[in-house]
Amino acid sequence: MTERLGIVISGSLDSGVEVRLDGAVSVEDMAVGRYVTIEGQKQRFFGMITDVSLGVTDPRLILTPPDVADPFIAEVFSGTSTYGTLHISPYLTIGGKADSLLEGPQTVKTVPSHFSAVNLATDPDIELVFGQEDQERFWIGNPMDMETKLCLDLEEFVTRSNGIFGKSGTGKTFLTRILLIGMLQKSKAVNLVFDMHSEYGWAGSSEGGQRKVKALKQLFPSQVAVFTLDEENSRRRGVSTDFVVRIGYDEIEPEDIGLLRQTLNLTEPAIEAGYQLRRKFGKNWLQQASEWSDSEEIGEQLKEMNIHESTFQNLRRGLNTIRRLPFTEPHAPTNAVQHVLEHLDRGTNVVLEFGRYRDITAYVLVANMLARRIYAQYQERMEKAMGEEAARPTPLVITIEEAHRFLNPSVASQTIFGTIAREMRKYNVTLLVIDQRPSGIDEEVMSQMGTKITCLLDNERDIDSVLAGVSSKSGLKAVLARLAPKQQALIFGHAVPMPVPFEPREYGSAQSYKDFITTNRAQRREQAEKDIEDLWER
Amino acid sequence: MLAASTTDFTAQCYGLYQSPPLGSLVKTGDEPIELYGIVGHATTGSLEPGRRPIARGQDEASEEEVYRTSPQLSKLLKSEFSVLVVGHREGDKLYYYLPPRPARIHGFVYRCRPEEVREFSQSLDFLNMLINTNLPTSVDELIAAALRQTGQAHEDPRAFLVAAGKELAVLLSGQFNQLKAILERLK
């Protein structure tokens, strides 16, 4: 079914094309974010409605409006003297020639000619552009007002750092959960999730907290390991955890403290002092510094190291805050980093729950510490792999919440996450950033993100920073600002050929769990059969 | 048929006061070319131009009585109507522009039957010719009358009028007031 909307009357590649609606089509049936196809003379264009406006042929009509209470008059005027116009941003062209059909949709480089017919995009059109659910593609939701499944090429998705944004309560967590399941099923990447609010591991709660929804571990017990910082809390919630993370003082390095400068309210010299102490006392510097009691000795030592007394006190206050964190202890019995890496190597996804320690200090410290060490390991392995052609490490996706704490302009250059976002793609590590305040994230990091998914945002600065660098930004802005406050999102960037506003697929009902799991099983069986075939062929 | 030109023709009715209604579709001419026109003006007057009728019937009870007691009246007066040519038929095909030659004098003029009206008004191109005419009757009145008349031949007069209104809105896009005046007369 194609539904003709109108004809192209003017436009430019830069600002999009204007379409005059046919008289039979009501402006009120149009909505920003809907897809249209434009039948040009040589190729088809694929675009999105970004604005709807009204026009009149005669300005006098506005000054002395006709009596529209009379249905006859109203009907005559609609579509003739008064008409609706659509503003459409063209994104893709689908060529008419055979070879261009094979290449698939191309980025738009021109505009359709005058008076080309404009139709509402049909489900097959959408499928042509976004592909069908298959080995690599994962169904994440439906384009707005459409039945077709919107599928995301996750293999492509995980090759870059990605971001999920949106005001709190707009469905970021649900969306992330869907994406994590997708990655777990369809991509070769493993996930490391720093789960600040304990929502991804075992169970999460729906908005308002009335309903529990199953999370990764319940759905895919064999592929997910839940690590926890707060064993007691996990036990109380009835979560079966695989490992309890403890952090020894001797594992903390001055670099880890550097990132906490803002949260611990440390001065620049205090951080510097940390490095000096480390040089002097080695691994046990933190314990030494915070347990030092002899004031005379302190004075002497500090003088020797050229550290000011107040600077030292400043650092010490910070270190004591860390020591008070319940999951830290002088010597950790096991090496958490090693455990995490072992799981990841086996292809098991790791969710680290923070339990009650939602305090930002704990989150930033742990996330940064683990990520830094894993980063080092990955870098080393990747370099080895490049040199000796050894196996490359499994691609890793690190999910962080409250990302603006790690990636704000003042710390992004220092934290490991800034580095990962900028260059770790080469080392097979990418980020999945979840944040509600994208304007707080460093511009450089934002610009490196491949795919961005954003739920409703209404702060002007946030919208600007999410859309920075996107062509036809003003059009998308209109779409973004008009997303429903819940369960609607806009995805654009590397993994999708063009921006799509969509409704994420259902999550939380028994049927939805079944759908997730069955596709997984079916694929594994398929894979197994293929493997067996391969085996015989050899 | 008494007078004919490329754009219009004038005909006299066989009976007094029997001219077709304003705006109705009439046709004239034989095969191969039939002319279609819209009745745009009608007059009734004396047969002889110099001889004006005088007032009668001061003592009569009704107007009918006047004609009954003076039967010569119907022979001394005549009704005429003029028709605007809006198209022609050649063979099976209808053309919505002026015919190559005007109608012949003493040709017969017929009122079109409803099915002919329907067929002719499939296309609304004749409206453009009506808009551009110069007649004693105002163009607005003429168009409105023509559409009302033609509409009656259609099964769904309202739908026809809406379609015609839309066509007019396009043709008169610069003359909003005229458009409004015509639409007011279509109700």
Quick check: B187 and A76 CB within 8 A? no
Which of A397, A398, A415, A394 is closest to A406 using CA atoms?
Answer: A415
Chain A closest-CA separation from residue B187 CA (Å): 8
Is B162 touching A (CB cutoff 8 A)?
yes
User: What's the pLDDT score for residue A425?
Assistant: 67
Residues of chain B with pLDDT under 50: none
Is B165 touching A (CB cutoff 8 A)?
yes
For residue A134, pLDDT over 60 is answered with yes
pLDDT digits (tens, 9 = 90+) for A198-237: 778 777 776 655 667 777 777 787 888 888 888 788 788 7
User: What's the pLDDT score for residue A201?
Assistant: 76
Cα–Cα distances (Å) from B94 to B85, B90, B151, in that order, read: 13, 7, 19
Is A21 touching B (CB cutoff 8 A)?
no
Chain A closest-CA separation from residue B166 CA (Å): 5
User: What's the pLDDT score for residue A268?
Assistant: 81
Residue A450 or residue B81, greater confidence:
B81
Distance in angstroms (rounded) separating the CA atoms of residues B41 and A402: 83
**Minimal Cβ distance to A77: which of B169, B177, B186:** B169
**Minimal Cβ distance to B161: which of A72, A80, A81:** A72
Chosen for mutation from B170, B171, B176, B182 (greatest number of chain A CBs closer than 10 Å) is B176
Distance in angstroms (rounded) separating the CA atoms of residues A56 and A67: 15
For residue A531, pLDDT over 80 is answered with no
Chain A closest-CA separation from residue B152 CA (Å): 16
Is A134 touching B (CB cutoff 8 A)?
no
Quick check: A72 and B173 CB within 8 A? no
Is A76 touching B (CB cutoff 8 A)?
yes
Residues of B whose CB is below 8 A from A61: 176
Quick check: B173 and A81 CB within 8 A? yes
Is A65 touching B (CB cutoff 8 A)?
no
ipTM more than 0.95?
no
Distance in angstroms (rounded) separating the CA atoms of residues B26 and B8: 12
User: What's the pLDDT score for residue B67?
Assistant: 86
For residue A1, pLDDT over 50 is answered with no
User: What value does the mean pLDDT take over residues A466-482?
Assistant: 80
Residue A118 phi/psi, 5° resolution? Answer: -115, 130
* Percentage above 70 pLDDT, chain A: 91
Q: Which two tokens stand for residue A169?
A: 């309560």
pLDDT digits (tens, 9 = 90+) for A306-318: 777 778 788 888 8
Residues written for chain B: 187
Is A73 touching B (CB cutoff 8 A)?
yes
Chain A closest-CA separation from residue B181 CA (Å): 11
**Minimal Cβ distance to A75: which of B162, B179, B187:** B162
Chain A closest-CA separation from residue B178 CA (Å): 12
3-class secondary structure, A334: coil
Task: Specify the range with the lowest mean pLDDT, choosing from A88-102, A125-139, B77-91.
Answer: A88-102
Q: What single-letter amino acid sits at B8?
A: D
Which of B1, B41, B11, B42 is closest to B133 using CA atoms?
Answer: B41
Is B176 touching A (CB cutoff 8 A)?
yes
Q: What is the dihedral of CA A159, A165, A170, A175, to 10 degrees?
A: 10
Question: If you measure CA to CA, which chain A residue comes closest to B181?
Answer: A66
- Which DSSP string do the residues of A31-82 spell out, in sequence order? -TT-EEEEE-SSEEEEEEEEEEEEEES-THHHHS---TTSHHHHHHHBTTTE
Is A536 touching B (CB cutoff 8 A)?
no
Which of A223, A213, A234, A109 is closest to A171 using CA atoms?
Answer: A213
Chain A closest-CA separation from residue B93 CA (Å): 29
Chain B closest-CA separation from residue A25 CA (Å): 14
Chosen for mutation from B156, B166, B171, B185 (greatest number of chain A CBs closer than 10 Å) is B166
Residue B186 phi/psi, 5° resolution? Answer: -90, -15
Task: Specify the range with the lowest mean pLDDT, choosing from A46-60, A511-525, B157-171.
Answer: A511-525
- Other Cβ atoms less than 10 A from the Cβ of A511: the count is 9
Residue A412 or residue B158, greater confidence:
B158
pLDDT digits (tens, 9 = 90+) for A140-154: 888 877 778 888 888
User: What's the pLDDT score for residue A209?
Assistant: 59
Is B142 touching A (CB cutoff 8 A)?
no
- Other Cβ atoms less than 10 A from the Cβ of B147: the count is 26
Is B143 touching A (CB cutoff 8 A)?
no
Ordered by start, the domain boundaries in chain A are 4-121, 151-246+339-507, 249-328
Residue A519 phi/psi, 5° resolution? Answer: -60, -35
Quick check: A66 and B180 CB within 8 A? yes
Check whether the bond before B32 is cis (ω within 30° of 0): yes
Contact between A228 and A234 under an 8 Å Cβ cutoff? The reply is yes
Residue A159 or residue A101, greater confidence:
A159
Is A64 touching B (CB cutoff 8 A)?
yes
User: What's the pLDDT score for residue A78?
Assistant: 80
Residues of A whose CB is below 8 A from B173: 57-58, 80-81
User: What's the pLDDT score for residue A174?
Assistant: 83
User: What value does the mean pLDDT take over residues A394-409?
Assistant: 82
- Which DSSP string do the residues of A195-250 spell out, in sequence order? ETTS-SSSEEE-GGG-SEEE-HHHH-TTTEEEEES-HHHHHHTT---SEE--EEGG
User: What's the pLDDT score for residue B82?
Assistant: 92
For residue A343, pLDDT over 60 is answered with yes
**Minimal Cβ distance to A72: which of B162, B168, B170:** B162
User: What value does the mean pLDDT take over residues A147-172?
Assistant: 83
Is A81 touching B (CB cutoff 8 A)?
yes
Residues of B whose CB is below 8 A from A83: none
Q: Tell whether the torsion through CA atoms of A246, A250, A254 and A257 is positive or negative.
A: positive
Chosen for mutation from B162, B171, B172, B177 (greatest number of chain A CBs closer than 10 Å) is B162
Chosen for mutation from A25, A80, A82, A83 (greatest number of chain B CBs closer than 10 Å) is A80
User: What's the pLDDT score for residue A166?
Assistant: 87
**Band of the pLDDT at A537, cuts 50, 70, 90?**
low
Here the contacts of A109-115 (C-beta below 8 Å, separation 24 or greater) are: A109/A13, A110/A13, A111/A8, A111/A11, A111/A12, A111/A13, A111/A17, A111/A45, A112/A8, A112/A17, A112/A38, A112/A39, A112/A40, A112/A41, A112/A45, A113/A8, A113/A40, A113/A41, A114/A8, A114/A9, A115/A7, A115/A8, A115/A9
Residue B16 or residue A300, greater confidence:
B16
Distance in angstroms (rounded) separating the CA atoms of residues A126 and B39: 56
The rounded mean pLDDT for chain A is 80
| CATH superfamily for domain A151-246+339-507 | P-loop containing nucleotide triphosphate hydrolases (3.40.50.300)
User: What value does the mean pLDDT take over residues A378-391?
Assistant: 78
How do A451-454 and A162-165 pair as beta strands? Answer: parallel
Cα–Cα distances (Å) from A314 to A59, A362, B33, in that order, read: 71, 19, 107
Chain B closest-CA separation from residue A70 CA (Å): 9
User: What's the pLDDT score for residue A206?
Assistant: 66
**Band of the pLDDT at A536, cuts 50, 70, 90?**
low
User: What's the pLDDT score for residue B109?
Assistant: 92
Distance in angstroms (rounded) separating the CA atoms of residues A107 and A91: 6
Chosen for mutation from A20, A60, A76 (greatest number of chain B CBs closer than 10 Å) is A76
- Other Cβ atoms less than 10 A from the Cβ of B18: the count is 10
**Band of the pLDDT at A79, cuts 50, 70, 90?**
confident
Task: Specify the range with the lowest mean pLDDT, choosing from A377-386, A419-428, A461-470, B160-169.
Answer: A419-428
Angle at alpha carbon of residue A323, lines to A320 and A328, rounded to 5°:
170
User: What's the pLDDT score for residue A293?
Assistant: 66
**Minimal Cβ distance to A60: which of B161, B168, B176:** B176
Contact between A98 and A46 under an 8 Å Cβ cutoff? The reply is no
Chain A closest-CA separation from residue B112 CA (Å): 27
Beta-strand (E) ranges in A441-523? 451-454, 489-493, 500-504
Residues of A whose CB is below 8 A from B158: 72
Residues of B whose CB is below 8 A from A72: 158, 161-162, 165, 183, 186-187
Is B156 touching A (CB cutoff 8 A)?
no
Distance in angstroms (rounded) separating the CA atoms of residues A75 and A402: 53
Quick check: A72 and B186 CB within 8 A? yes
Quick check: B186 and A70 CB within 8 A? no
Quick check: A81 and B169 CB within 8 A? yes
User: What value does the mean pLDDT take over residues A320-349?
Assistant: 81
